[in-house]
Structure 1
Amino acid sequence: MSKKQPVEQSTGGEKQQRRSRSRQPGSIQEYQTKAGKRWRFQIYVLKDPEYPEQGMQRLTRSGFTSTDEANDALQGALKQRKQNEKFSGAVPTLGAYADEWVVGLKLAASTINGYKKIIRNHIRPQLGMIQLDKLTATRIGHHYRDLEKHGRNDRIGKGQPLSANSVHKVHVVLGAILDAAIDDGHLTVNPAKKKRTVRAPTTSEVRAQRPEIVTWTGDQLHTFLTWNEVELRDELFPLWRLLAYTGMRRSEALALRWSDINTKRMSISIRRTVDTADWTRTKPPKTGTARVIDVDEDTLKVLASYKVARAELSFTLAKADAYIFGDDDGKLRSPDAMTSRWDRRLTRATAEFDNLTRVTIKGLRHTHATLLLEMGVHPKVVQERLGHSTITTTMNIYSHVTPTMQGSAVDRFAAHLVQA
């Protein structure tokens, strides 16, 4: 009778039983746990693909329930290793390099998520397998034309034409990726910048396709707010009124604290905004700097009454550092959840009043700006209230107000000459 062989103990306290070799580089090992047999694989990879001179290190993954499962994972790891090693001499594919590029960006999380979505939907599927130095301006041009014909990849509109604005965003991201490839020595020129061949959508084409901004008149806004406060008795009435009377962004309003209100100066300081990529956190405003906007007396009274109501729920909800429009636990609310609540209220309001058209929650911001411009308020003031980085942005968005402004200016000019 043969003697029982001693059991080798692994570093994790698991009983080692048998080792088998995969046909591919690397190894697969079987080991015993209390739950039964499990498998692990091991391969050697570069410690840092960017610095191959640092040498190799062992990569181990365990817990697989079959050799097939372990082998599939091993093949995936080998493929990833091969992809990483391409960066140590050979020119990578656009898809591999794009993934590496986006990870290294230092931007707002929402911006990076937007870039990842563009890469995932409109760059990697069509161009991802092309080596960077094999990507031509002609190929990029063909890609843009394909996107314009049937580039939409969302569930509802899949296969339909992609808008000029969306194709332009693809062009911006692709151009930035290829610029980085030049910096890393993979390319000498950026094929996306060969305008005669690529023919990306122009600014005028993007503007021409921009959907028309829908706003309310002063009477329509008054009708909704009165109904919302008096008849609906909406707990979120102070939020809707603040958005309409200040033009601040949805995420800016949700990030306000009571300490941001200055009742003596009759102003509100916008110091932060909810991070839409992770709405449990805040970040600096879109322009990166805080701004102060004036607020009318009645809106301040509405907020004061709301503060009393919050204090009745809990004293902590009315403390200086509490979020004005936080939930009942004092935590930030989701911007998307507020949009859903707005939509439900608007559905009821439009069914109640024939003269009310549907506007988005952002339509309150657009309504604020449009009414100010129609009343003759200087565009620079509107820009400061909205928090646009430049006055050009303001005038481009609200170009539909220009005819009204011109007509009013002509009337005032003629009246001035008559009086003279």
Structure 2
Amino acid sequence: MPKARDHGQGALYWVASRGMWKAVLDVGFDPYTGKRLQKGLYSKTKDGAVKKLNTMLRERESLGRVLDRSTRVSDLADRWLDDVSHRAKPSTIANYRSNVRAKIAPVLGRRLISELTPTDIRRMHAAIRASGAGDASVSSAHRTLVTMLEFARAERISTENVAMLTPPRRAQPGKKRESLTREEAKALLALNDARWTLGLLTGLRSGEARALRWEDIDFKRGVARLSWSLTGASFVHGCGGTCGKKTAGACPQRKMDISDDLEWIPLQDRHVLVRPKNGTPREIPIPKDALKQLQDVAQFAVTPNPHSLVWHRADGSPKTNTDDNQDLRAALLAAGIDRPAATTHWLRHSYVTLSEHAGVPWAAFSGVSGHGSTEASDPYRHVLTTEGRRAVDSLTAWVAQ
């Protein structure tokens, strides 16, 4: 029989089947069934059970709840990934899953959330570095863990985010962000390729460029509406894990691992269109030269194009970011520029750097590239489009000098 205590102050039981004392405390009611909820902790001694009961009472009094002492990091990761998959973009989900699987779970998976310490976080950082990964990988995994532990706080599993108390060391100073010089930009523009003209003179993101469809081009107004971003989604088993296939991509009932709340359009295989980074479509002015180049592309296209994409592979399938980077390097070589490490993000950085050198106001060129908040700029879209046109024209003239 439990020892008599004041109402609401819990109880102590001797559990003969386990040979242990059990401290039990009421912690509320199930919101769905209305049944009373209890929290129980075991101890080999009566004094130990009393201490655990008193600890639960203090937590309930000071925090309004009793801390969860049974959820492990791996259990939390499963719950969190399931929750976040209903909101995040495919690339974000894939990054979260990769960090959990390869970096967080191997080191912290069996640790109780309630017992995580700064030492555990530093141990994870060290393990990632020991695997040969750099500071960027450590920071990526740490950000994932921070987000996951914030979910734990919201779910009342923990009271503090220990990862926020233990940031990774600062990355060692490395190479500055690369960009093209004025002369290199001029040589690239001389190729008269709309892809690189747009990328260099508007700061167009690779995903936005690869998602651009002919219906998004307004030749009459000379603008492009950036409504989508092209990305690759991961697959998940749709069979509940019963098909016997090792990879989800081979599952006969495979499904796209995409948020239910995310607006998206399937294209082909893993390729999908999702709303852009900030979630709000924007219009950009098309440079005059690029407009003519796009007209030529539309007029003389001979390859299949089932998705009506402006830029695509020869067989009509969507391009990947790797394709885009390889195309840029080939274009640079054709322009007499040997930059084997170049990526399409260089064009975006070049756009910012060259615009600053050309004296274009930040408010003007950031509105074109989408670096700023579109929510704040929406009421002034017409004004910003006009300013953006001036910014693009100014940059074009400066590079051409």
The answer to whether TM tops 0.5 is: yes
Aligned residues of 1:171 and 1:200 also touching (Cα < 8 A): yes
Aligned residues of 1:216 and 1:357 also touching (Cα < 8 A): no
User: Please, what is the CA RMSD of the aligned residues?
Assistant: 3.1
SS at match of 1:292: strand
Q: What's the CA shift for 1:345?
A: 4.4
Q: Which amino acid aligns with 2:183?
A: D
Structure of greater Rg: 1
Taking the TM superposition and a 5 Å limit, the aligned residue runs for 1:133-148 are 133-144=114-125, 146-147=126-127
Match of 2:327 among 341, 357, 364: 341
Aligned residues of 2:104 and 2:141 also touching (Cα < 8 A): yes
Q: What's the CA shift for 1:308?
A: 0.6
Task: List alignment gaps of at least 5 residues for structure 1.
Answer: 1-49, 54-88, 153-157, 230-236, 392-420
| Number of aligned positions between the proteins | 274
Q: Aligned equivalents of 1:133 and 1:249: distance in 2?
A: 42
Q: 1:124 to 1:313 in 2, by over 3 A?
A: closer
Q: Which amino acid aligns with 1:159?
A: S
SS at match of 1:240: helix
Q: 1:388 to 1:224 in 2, by over 3 A?
A: closer
Which position in structure 1 is the counterpart of 2:232? 276
Q: 1:223 to 1:282 in 2, by over 3 A?
A: same
**Where is the helix percentage greater, Structure 1 or Structure 2?**
1
- Please say if 1:171 is aligned against 2:151: no
Q: Aligned equivalents of 1:177 and 1:307: distance in 2?
A: 46
Match of 1:254 among 187, 210, 219: 210
Q: What's the CA shift for 1:375?
A: 0.8
Task: List alignment gaps of at least 5 residues for structure 2.
Answer: 1-29, 34-67, 235-269, 375-401
Q: What's the CA shift for 1:298?
A: 1.3
Which position in structure 2 is the counterpart of 1:308? 299
Q: What's the CA shift for 1:305?
A: 0.7
Q: Which amino acid aligns with 1:275?
A: T
- Please say if 1:218 is aligned against 2:182: yes
- Please say if 1:162 is aligned against 2:134: yes
Q: What's the CA shift for 1:330?
A: 4.2
Q: Which amino acid aligns with 2:308?
A: A
Per-residue CA deviations over 1:213-250 (Å, capped at 9, x if unaligned) read 11112221222343x45xxxxxxx33222212221011
Q: Aligned equivalents of 2:115 and 2:281: distance in 1?
A: 46
Aligned residues of 1:118 and 1:170 also touching (Cα < 8 A): yes
Q: Aligned equivalents of 2:212 and 2:146: distance in 1?
A: 37
Q: Aligned equivalents of 2:137 and 2:314: distance in 1?
A: 39
Q: What's the CA shift for 1:349?
A: 4.2
Q: What's the CA shift for 1:52?
A: 12
- Please say if 1:189 is aligned against 2:160: yes
Aligned residues of 2:203 and 2:347 also touching (Cα < 8 A): yes
Q: 1:274 to 1:171 in 2, by over 3 A?
A: same
Aligned residues of 2:212 and 2:310 also touching (Cα < 8 A): yes
Q: Which amino acid aligns with 1:270?
A: L
Taking the TM superposition and a 5 Å limit, the aligned residue runs for 1:27-176 are 91-105=70-84, 106-144=87-125, 146-147=126-127, 151-152=128-129, 159-160=131-132, 162-163=134-135, 165-176=136-147
Which position in structure 1 is the counterpart of 2:345? 362
Q: What's the CA shift for 1:270?
A: 0.7
**Which structure has more RCO (C-alpha within 8 Å, separation ≥ 6)?**
2
Aligned residues of 2:219 and 2:291 also touching (Cα < 8 A): yes
- % identical aligned pairs: 25
Relative to the length of structure 1, the TM-score reads: 0.58
Relative to the length of structure 2, the TM-score reads: 0.60
